[in-house]
Amino acid sequence: MRLGGSNTRFEPRLSFSFYRPNPTRHIPAESRLQKLSPTAICNSYWLGCKIVLVPVFMSIHPTIQQWQSSRHEIGIMEFGSSADALNRFPHPIPRGYTPIGRVEAELLCIEDATGEILEFEHEVADRICCRCAASQEQFIEALRILEDYFAGCAESDGRTDDEAAGLDAIARAAETAGGSQYAPTYHSLVGY
């Protein structure tokens, strides 16, 4: 099951809670003693149930998969297979994160529960040093802004020294990624 364009897949699980919507209402004993199948519980006015969606795994966006297979580079960021990224990283990472590449020595990951893109610090185990984007789609769009900026720099020698153009690209990329809390990633990629 997918929700709202999210790349997280969810598995429905039943979670039962006991409640009595109207404590003054008389409930016949035979209703309380009925065989408690899931259908009976859900239809009962004595017991209620709710469906809880539990994340099963994070799927990787097709664009990021393509970047991984081609070892695509954007500035100091390099995409690669999850296994390769883990082999080159000095620490094990906590469960619930999917590696997708590296940013210099840092490990670039997707947080499975939220879909947020982040970097793990290479010097300190389990330390998140930078948050990159709120979702994979926003991350891709932010990186496309930087690719356009870097392409412009390659075409014009003067643009690499144009701090205003670099700061503008950083601001647009951070906003696209989900807000100013993601700006440090793009500052490190551009160098301003």
The 10s digit of each residue's pLDDT in 12-27 is 444 333 333 444 444 4
Against a cut of 0.95, is the pTM above it? no
**Closest-CA residue to 47 (of 92, 83, 14, 90):** 14
Higher pLDDT, 92 or 45: 92
Range 134-153 average pLDDT: 96
* Res. 91: pLDDT tops 70: yes
* Res. 131: pLDDT tops 80: yes
Pairwise CA distance, residues 10 & 115, whole Å: 13
Q: Which helix (H) or strand (E) holds 148?
A: helix 136-155
Q: What residue spans define the domains of the chain?
A: 8-56, 60-190
Range 56-62 average pLDDT: 78
pLDDT of residue 149: 94
Range 165-185 average pLDDT: 96
In this structure, what is the dihedral angle of CA atoms 171, 137, 143, 122, given to the nearest 10 degrees? 100
Q: Which residues of 88-123 are buried (b: 16+ CB within 10 A; e: fewer)?
A: ebeeebeeebbbbbbbeebbbbbbbeebbbbbbebe
Q: Scanning the structure block, which residue is given the tokens 């020294």?
A: 161
Give the model's confidence band at 188: pLDDT under 50 very low, under 70 low, under 90 confident, else very high: very high
| pLDDT over 70 percentage in the chain | 68
Pairwise CA distance, residues 118 & 84, whole Å: 17
Range 141-153 average pLDDT: 95
Higher pLDDT, 84 or 53: 84
Pairwise CA distance, residues 129 & 32, whole Å: 54
Higher pLDDT, 163 or 175: 175
Q: Scanning the structure block, which residue is given the tokens 């008389």?
A: 26
In the chain, the largest separation of any two C-alpha atoms, in whole Å, equals 84
Range 141-162 average pLDDT: 88
Tell me the backbone φ, ψ of residue 15, rounded to 5 degrees: -130, 125
pLDDT of residue 192: 82
Q: Is 32 helix (H, G, I), strand (E, B) or coil?
A: helix
Range 159-182 average pLDDT: 92
* Res. 6: pLDDT tops 60: no
Pairwise CA distance, residues 103 & 162, whole Å: 24
pLDDT of residue 57: 53
Return the top range by mean pLDDT from 2-11, 36-45, 67-76: 67-76
